[in-house]
Structure 1
Amino acid sequence: MPAIHFKIDTTSLQELTVHRTTTLPLACYKTDIRQHVQGYIPLHWHDELQFVVMLQGSAWFQVYDQKLSVQQGDGLFINSGSFHMAEAASDGDCTYICLNVAAHFITAHDLYAVCVHPYVQATNLPFIPIPCHEAWGKAIVQSVHKLWQLLQERPPVFEIQLAVQLTSMWQHLITSGFQPQYSQAEMIKNERIKQMLEWIHIHYAEKITLDEIAHAGQLSRSECCRYFRRYFKTSPLNYVADYRIRQSLILLQQDQSVTETAYGVGFNSTSYFIERFRKLMQMTPLAYKKQMNGD
């Protein structure tokens, strides 16, 4: 039964989880996508670099406007500040190791400006697939497993071993043929979509118009629609409706009726809420509520 709450700032979508040990700016953990309270990993971002290695099943990851499948055994690098979400791609377990690490901890301080910063700032590298069938990808996947083991066992001077593995991973990543590029136009586009999403996530329970969403991103109505089609393959108002449904999943697991939930997330019609809910979740809100409550 889903029970994990993914801590995200509802305005900025920045993940609020503290990714570090007591002394080191990194965290490594296993997660099952289906165990999240919403049944998927919602859209978010964080300052840390992220390495994912799929242990069981497969998952769809969306990073900005690109969606890709990560199969069992493969990995994925997600860059600092990149919007991303994940959902299971098939029935059954969907478990992966997730390593989040501060960029400045990847290499020695004097190497950061040359070997890390250009890649962190690159607008053409929001993510990099890590295929385990290629030598460089296999080496990174093995390092993630080793890091997980070190953090569980904590042998003497394991911190030095962590640093060695991280530097090795980064060397394999940046020598695998990906060249950093920087586009001011792409940076502006990413910032505008962030602004529109922040506005929606503040006001989703209110009446929302296309003009208001477009204004939040400093765009025309037509440009606003093009942005949402590019990033989310849907219209702005359809995104709002689906976001309201996602928010309703949490309320339905609490002591609220379907009608109270519908109005609480911004729908002005219970019947329309039920219709949208069934379309997205393949069941009615009442069926979902009973399922989650074990009835």
Structure 2
Amino acid sequence: MQIITDKTQKEKKEHGSFSFPFLLSYERLSAYESGSFLWHWHPEAELTLITSGKMEYHVNEQVFYAKEGDVIFCNGGALHAGNMTCSYDCSYNAITFLPKLIYGYKESVIYNQYVRPIVENPGFGGIYYDYTSTSGKKVHDLTLQISEVASNKKEGYELTIISLLTTLWKILWSDYEASNTKSHGDFRRNYERIRSIISYVENHYQEKITLDDVASCVHLSRSECSRIFKANMQQSLFGFIQQYRIQKSLDYLLDTDATITEIADMVGIPDPNYFAKTFTKIQGMSPSAYRKHRG
């Protein structure tokens, strides 16, 4: 399984309905190929409650190492991805919602004073709530309550969810206002460039990709392209390309009868020996072992 996105990395999955844009889903990282979900975004805000295990969670330029009980808020429109740490599986509740459930309409004081500063700041990716902190415990309890109410669906549950989200948002807004780095200016300036680079890789991973190709698509020099990507994504551009190619190879290994050599070529690594070496480094086992183990 993997998250399906369009060419801009926007997730295609529907998050709730037009009449009630809210969705609760129970997830685990081991359900995804390689124990990770790839970079994507959606207009809805998201709360991730870790119910067991650990997760390395990336949102924009931030990296959070979350454990059981922790909650991560991801802003709508923010690029995010997640993976296992130290081979630990991770189960979590994912709650996605449009903040309009809280503010109602954009002319309201609720929107302009408490919601707009957050949702209209593309450089603000999210906040990590450690369960052991005072605010973290409050956010955990509220997120757990929201999960339980959404799961039980008793009469009037929608009103209860809105009430709980509003209470949680007040905590979020207070923490956002108190943050010294709430603008995340560097990432804000480079946000569209990063998305364009990721989109280019996703659309051309089967081909030979050079630094000149990528730099050209975002109108930057080679050195500046590499610098911006690494500074904001915490990994090199080359490392990201190879990781993405290996991720895509998992589908071919499990869903086709193609040989390892053929699959290597399909994902843009024409040298099967180098493909096998890279695959083993990233996945911890050879392509043939992965096919046998997961197939």
Q: Return the TM-score normalized by structure 2.
A: 0.91
Matched, 1:74 2:70: yes
Contact 1:136 1:173 (C-alpha < 8 Å) held by counterparts: no
**Counterpart for residue 225 of structure 2:** 224
Partner Cα distance (1:90, 1:280) in 2: 13
Deviation digits for residues 193-241 of structure 1 (CA, Å, limit 9, x no counterpart): 1111111111110111111100111110000110222134443233222
**Per-residue deviation, 1:123:** 4.7
Q: Which amino acid aligns with 2:291?
A: K
Partner Cα distance (2:134, 2:239) in 1: 42
**Per-residue deviation, 1:32:** 0.5
**Counterpart for residue 120 of structure 1:** 119
Contact 2:47 2:73 (C-alpha < 8 Å) held by counterparts: yes
Partner Cα distance (2:18, 2:186) in 1: 39
**Counterpart for residue 162 of structure 1:** 161
2:35 counterpart SS class: coil
Q: Which amino acid aligns with 2:259?
A: S
Partner Cα distance (2:236, 2:88) in 1: 31
Partner Cα distance (1:145, 1:107) in 2: 22
CA change 1:25–1:99 in 2 (3 A) is same
Matched, 1:5 2:6: no
Structure 1 gap segments, 5+ residues each: none
Aligned ranges 1:17-96 → 2 under 5 Å: 17-21=13-17, 23-96=19-92
CA change 1:154–1:248 in 2 (3 A) is same
Deviation digits for residues 99-141 of structure 1 (CA, Å, limit 9, x no counterpart): 1111211334321122101111235531111122333322221
Contact 2:70 2:129 (C-alpha < 8 Å) held by counterparts: yes
Contact 1:13 1:43 (C-alpha < 8 Å) held by counterparts: yes
Contact 2:21 2:97 (C-alpha < 8 Å) held by counterparts: yes
Aligned ranges 1:128-207 → 2 under 5 Å: 128-176=127-175, 177-178=178-179, 181-182=182-183, 186-207=187-208
Contact 2:2 2:38 (C-alpha < 8 Å) held by counterparts: no
Deviation digits for residues 168-187 of structure 1 (CA, Å, limit 9, x no counterpart): 01011112333785477642
Deviation digits for residues 233-262 of structure 1 (CA, Å, limit 9, x no counterpart): 443233222211111011100222111111
Deviation digits for residues 28-69 of structure 1 (CA, Å, limit 9, x no counterpart): 111111111342111111111111111001111112222220
Partner Cα distance (1:207, 1:115) in 2: 47
Partner Cα distance (1:91, 1:197) in 2: 26
Matched, 1:214 2:233: no
1:116 counterpart SS class: helix
CA change 1:208–1:124 in 2 (3 A) is closer
Contact 2:75 2:124 (C-alpha < 8 Å) held by counterparts: yes
Contact 1:119 1:180 (C-alpha < 8 Å) held by counterparts: no
Structure 2 gap segments, 5+ residues each: none
Contact 1:64 1:83 (C-alpha < 8 Å) held by counterparts: yes
Partner Cα distance (2:181, 2:56) in 1: 25
**Counterpart for residue 272 of structure 1:** 274
**Per-residue deviation, 1:152:** 1.6
CA change 1:196–1:22 in 2 (3 A) is closer
Contact 1:15 1:46 (C-alpha < 8 Å) held by counterparts: yes
Partner Cα distance (2:34, 2:282) in 1: 12
Partner Cα distance (1:269, 1:91) in 2: 28
Partner Cα distance (1:182, 1:83) in 2: 16
Q: Return the TM-score normalized by structure 1.
A: 0.91
Q: Which amino acid aligns with 2:92?
A: Y
1:146 counterpart SS class: helix
**Per-residue deviation, 1:283:** 1.1
Partner Cα distance (2:122, 2:221) in 1: 24
Contact 2:122 2:191 (C-alpha < 8 Å) held by counterparts: no
CA change 1:5–1:182 in 2 (3 A) is closer
Q: Which amino acid aligns with 1:209?
A: T
Q: Which amino acid aligns with 1:156?
A: E
**Per-residue deviation, 1:22:** 7.3
**Counterpart for residue 247 of structure 1:** 248
